Amino acid sequence: MEDAVSENAGAQAPLLVAIDGPAGSGKSSVSRAAAERLGFGILDTGAAYRALAWAALETGTDLDDPAAVEGLMNLWAYDITLQGEQRVTVGLVGASPIDVTPAIREHSVSGQVSRVSKHPAVRERLNAMFLDIVAGSGLPGVVIEGRDITTVVAPDAPVRILMTASPEIRATRRAGELPGMTHAQVLADIEARDAKDALVVDFLNPAPGVTLVDTSDLDFEQSVQAVIDIVRAVQGAAEKS
């Protein structure tokens, strides 16, 4: 037993790269591309909230009842791939694990995610789960992206990045992903969401120790390289020390 503990203690922990940012900033696509080129894993935290909402809907759990949602978390098993094509699997007591990758992206689920994410205790448990996933990944590093990643989920990560862009640029990017909506409609939606987010999170000013990457004037490749450069700089500094 002592030998096992000693061996684990000496294992190299994955380098954690925490990336925050508003919708349309490019954080999801840029994070994934940067992770692949670095040989790291990518952890999409939003998928867990979607999967939990899906599980609540499937089991008839009251999404607005924090105790009920926490009870559901005692009965589920969550798994997500960190490399390659993303696959999300959910297991519930008494049932075989189910691949819910496409299901959690359906509109019927997306519209319910905020009902589970609003519970502080649920967020706390998922945040702990995210760190456990990273610690047990066996990878040299993991890029973890989502909301509140640099300040709440992984405030001690060696690399913390706030990726942002102007509302106009983000609207242009999002409009291409939302057929049927005009640029003006998407911009209005983004500005409304920014105003709501501003009540609880600051996507404009990085917290102390967080590096700001403004992608307004960067194309995709430049944005990916900016992240890689930041990671490499931290790795280089660590090697020297």
Instruction: Report the binding-site residues.
Output: 21-29
CA distance 26 to 220: 8
- Cβ partners under 8 Å of residue 51, min gap 6: 78, 88, 90, 100, 104
Phi and psi at 25, nearest 5°, equal -75, -15
Question: Which residues belong to the annotated binding site for ATP?
Answer: 21-29
Q: What are the helix (H) ranges across the chain?
A: 2-10, 27-38, 45-59, 66-73, 107-110, 113-117, 120-135, 167-175, 183-197, 220-240
Largest CA distance in the chain: 63
Q: Which two tokens stand for residue 161?
A: 């990045």
Q: Cα angle vertex 219, ends 30, 141, to 5°?
A: 25
Helices 45-59 + 120-135 axis angle, to 10: 120
Specify whether the CB–CB gap between 213 and 163 falls below 8 A. Answer: yes
